[in-house]
Structure 1
Amino acid sequence: MKKIINDPETVVQDALRGMQAAHADLLSVHYDPAVVTRADAPVRGKVAIISGGGAGHEPLHGGFVGRGMLDAACPGAVFTSPTPDQVLDAVSRCDGGAGALLIVKNYTGDVLNFETAGEMAESEVRSVVIDDDVAVKDSLYTAGRRGVGGTVLLEKIVGAAAERGDDLAACEALALRVIASVRSMGLALTSCTVPHVGSPSFELADDEMEIGIGIHGEPGRQRVPVGSASEMVSALLDPVLEDLPFSSGDRVLLFTNSMGGTPLIELYLAHGIAEQLLADRGITVERRLVGPYITSLEMQGMSLTLLRLDDEMISLWDAPVHTPALRWGV
C-alpha cells in the first residue's frame, strides 16, 4: 500500500486538520465529535442542511460545506457511517431556529444513525434518503438502492433553496422531487485500498472492468472485458436512461464523475460521448458537472448521473455557491 498518510488510524482527523488550515474562511472543523460546519453557523432564520457519511469520498461531504450548499457535514471513519452524536452535534451547532433537513445516502448505518439523531434532537428535524444508483437493488451496505452521485446535485439544489429562505417543509418537498428525478451508475477499472485494511477491496485483472460498482468499493453487477470509452459510456448511460425512464424532450443535468483515480482528459472524453448519445435520443443537456466530486479513494473509474430538470431546479443549480469544492456566482 502506497499512500500519503502517517497513521491509518488517524487519517481522517489528520485530513480534517489540513482542511481547516486550507479553508478557515469558509468552514470550522470540530473534532470531538468530528463535525465540519460553515464558518458563520448558525445562520439565523435559515433551515440547516446537514449531510455526512464515511470519509474516502472527498470532496463529499465536507468539501460542500459553505454558503449555498451544506451547513454541516459529519465525517465518519473511511467508508464508515458517522455516529448519532456527530449528527446531533451538527444540528445543535447549525440550527438557526428554522429546523434542520438531514440528507442521507441509502446505506444501512447512515440511515439508522441519522434517524436516531433526528429522534433525539431538540430541534425540528426532518430527513430524506437518496437512492439513485440503478446498478443494484441491494448491496453489501444497503437495503435497497445505494445513494451515490445524485447526492452532490441534491445538496446543491436544496442548499440553494435553504439559502434563499425556503422553510423546512419546502426544502423537504424539493429534496423529494430531486430524489425522484435523479439516477446514477458507475464502473471501475481498478479497485481501491482502504488505509486501515491495506489491500484492495476487490481484484480486477488488467483486461477487466467492473460495471455497477458502489462508492465503498463494492463489486458491481457484472465483470466484463475492458471496452472502448464509447462502450463504457453506453454501459452506464443505457441503464440510467431506462430506469426513470428518461425520454426525448427531457431537459437534464449530466454529471460525469471521477471515482478518484481517473484523469480529466479521460473524463472529458467520456462526457463528450455521453452528451452526443443524449442528443441522439432527443434529450437536452441544460447543465453539466464534470470532475471528481464523489470519489472512492484512488479507484480508477467513473460514474454518470442524470437529473431531469425543471425551471426551478435550473434556477437553484445556477444560484451562487461558495464551498471548498464547488463555487460560482460569488
Structure 2
Amino acid sequence: MKKIINDPATVVAESLRGLAAAHADLVRVEYDPDHVVRVGAPIADKVALISGGGSGHEPLHTGFVGAGMLDAAVPGPVFTSPTPDAVQAAIAATTGEAGALLVVKNYTGDVLNFETAAELAAAEGLDVRTVVIDDDVAVADSTFTAGRRGVGGTVLLEKLAGAAAARGDALDDVESLARKVVGQVRSIGVALSPPTVPHAGEPSFDLGAQEIEFGIGIHGEPGRERISAEPADALVERMLDAVTGDLPFAEGDEVLLMTNSMGGTPPMETYLAHGIAERLLAERGIRVTRRLVGPYITSLEMQGISVTLLRMDDELTQLWDAPVHTAALRWGI
C-alpha cells in the first residue's frame, strides 16, 4: 500500500488539520470528538443543517460546510460512522431556537448514531429532526445497511436543504423540502478498481482486469452484478437504464444530472461519461437543466463513476442556483 499518510490511526485528524489550515475563513475544526463547524455558527434564527459519516468520501461532508450548505459535518473514522457524542457536539455548536435538521445516509451505524444524538439533543430542549437519504437504486438491501444506501444524492440534498435554511425557512419547511428531494433523486455507481482503507492495508475487494462491479456502494460493498468491461457508451446507457427506470423518469422531465468521480477516475473520463449521459437523456426526451461534474462523493482512490438524477421543478432550480460558499462547492458569492 502506497499512500501519502503517516499513520493510519491519525490519518483523519491530520486531514482535518489540513482542512482547517486551508479554509480557516470558512470552517473551524474541533477535536475529541471531531466535528467541523461553519465559521460564525450558531447563526441566530436559522435552522442548522448537519450531516456526516465515515471519512474517505471527501469532499463529502466536511468540504460542504459553509454558507448556503452545511453548518456542521461530523467525520467518523474511514468508512465508519461517527459516534453519537460527536454528532451531539456538532448539534450543540450550531443549533439555536430555530432547531436543526440532520441529513443521514442510510447505513445502519449512521442512522442509529445520528438518531441517538437527536434524542439526546431533544432531552436538552432542542428541536432536532432527521431525514434519511436512500437514493441508490442498485440494491434493495446490502451488507452495510437496511434498505437502499445513501450515495450521490446526498450532495444534492445538502445543497438544496442548505439553501432553504439560508433563505430563512422554518424547520418544518426545510424538513419537508428535504423529504421532497429524497423522493425525487436516484443514483447508481460502478467500480473499475477497489479502494484501499489505510488501516486494512490492502484492497477492499478483487476485480479481474476485464471486470466492472456494477452498482457498487461508496464503501466498496457489493453491487448489483459483476460485468465484463464494455465501452463507455454501453456502460453509461446501462447506468441510465437502472436510474431512469426506478423512479421512473419520463419524457418531458427536467433533471439535474450529477456525474461523479469515485476518487480515482480522471476528469477526462468523467466528462466523457457526462457527455454520453446528456446525449442519451436528450434522446429519451429528458431535459438536463442543471449539472454537476467532478469528485463530490468519493471512495478513497476507487476508479469508477456514479450517476445521479434529480427531478427538478421551479423551487428546486431556485434553491440550486442560490449562492453557496464552501471548500468544495461555491457559486454566486
Structure 2 residue aligned with 1:166, among 169, 174, 190?
169
Provide structure 2 residue ranges, at least 5 long, that are not aligned to the other structure. Answer: none
Match of 1:186, SS? strand
Q: Which residue of 2 aligns with 1:112?
A: 112
* Cα deviation digits, residues 40-77 of structure 1 (max 9, x gap): 11111100000000000000000000000000000000
> How large is the RMSD of aligned CA atoms in angstroms?
0.5
2:240 to 229, 237, 242: 237
In structure 2, what is the Cα distance between the partners aligned to 1:96 and 1:326?
25
The whole-number CA distance in structure 1 between the counterparts of 2:97 and 2:3 is 43
1:15-35 CA distances to partner (integer Å, 9 max, x unpaired)?
000000000000000001100
Q: Pick the aligned partner of 2:268 from 253, 256, 265.
A: 265
State the distance in 1 between where 2:191 and 2:167 align.
38
Q: Distance in 2 between matches of 1:83 and 1:170?
A: 28
| Residue aligning to 2:279 | 276
Q: 1:5 and 2:5 equivalent?
A: yes
Looking at structure 2, the residues matched to 250 and 256 of structure 1 have their Cα atoms a distance apart, in angstroms, of: 18
CA contact (8 A) 1:211 1:235 kept: no
Look up the equivalent residue of 1:295 and give its one-letter code. Answer: T
Partner of 2:98: 98
TM-score w.r.t. the length of structure 1 is 0.99
Aligned to 1:319: 322
What is the CA distance between 1:96 and its match in structure 2?
A: 2.9
Q: How far apart are the structure 2 equivalents of 1:45 and 1:172?
A: 16
1:175 aligns with 2:159: no
Q: Which 5+ residue runs of structure 1 have no aligned equivalent?
A: none
Counterpart code for 1:135 = A
The percentage of counterpart residues that share the same residue type is 69
Report the Cα distance in structure 1 between the residues aligned to 2:54 and 2:285, rounded to whole angstroms. 38
Deviations 1:203-240 (A, max 9, x none): 00111111000000112111111100111101211010
Mapped to 1, the partners of 2:201 and 2:143 lie a distance apart of: 19
Distance 2:2 2:229 in 1: 25
Question: 1:251 touches 1:284 (CA, 8 Å); kept in 2?
Answer: yes
State the alpha-carbon separation in 2 of the partners of residues 149 and 230 from structure 1: 21
- 2:198 is the alignment partner of 1:195: yes
Match in the other structure for 1:83: 83
Deviations 1:251-286 (A, max 9, x none): 000000000000000000000000010000100000
Q: Which moved more, 1:223-232 or 1:60-69?
A: 223-232
CA distance in 2, matches of 1:288, 1:106: 24
- Give TM-score, length-normalised by structure 2: 0.99
Q: Distance in 2 between matches of 1:175 and 1:127?
A: 10
**CA deviation map 1:144-187 (0-9, x unaligned):** 00000000000000000000000100000000000000000000
Give the whole-Å Cα distance in 1 for the aligned partners of 2:128 and 2:144: 25
Q: What is the one-letter code of the residue matched to 2:304? A: G
Q: Is the 8 A contact 1:55 1:78 kept in 2?
A: yes
In structure 2, the residue corresponding to 1:243 is in which secondary structure? coil
Paired residues for 1:279-294 under 5 Å: 279-294=282-297
CA distance in 2, matches of 1:191, 1:235: 20
Matching of residue 298 in structure 1 with residue 301 in structure 2: yes
Any residues of structure 2 matched to 1:187-226 within 5 Å, and which?
A: 187-226=190-229
Q: Which amino acid aligns with 1:110?
A: D
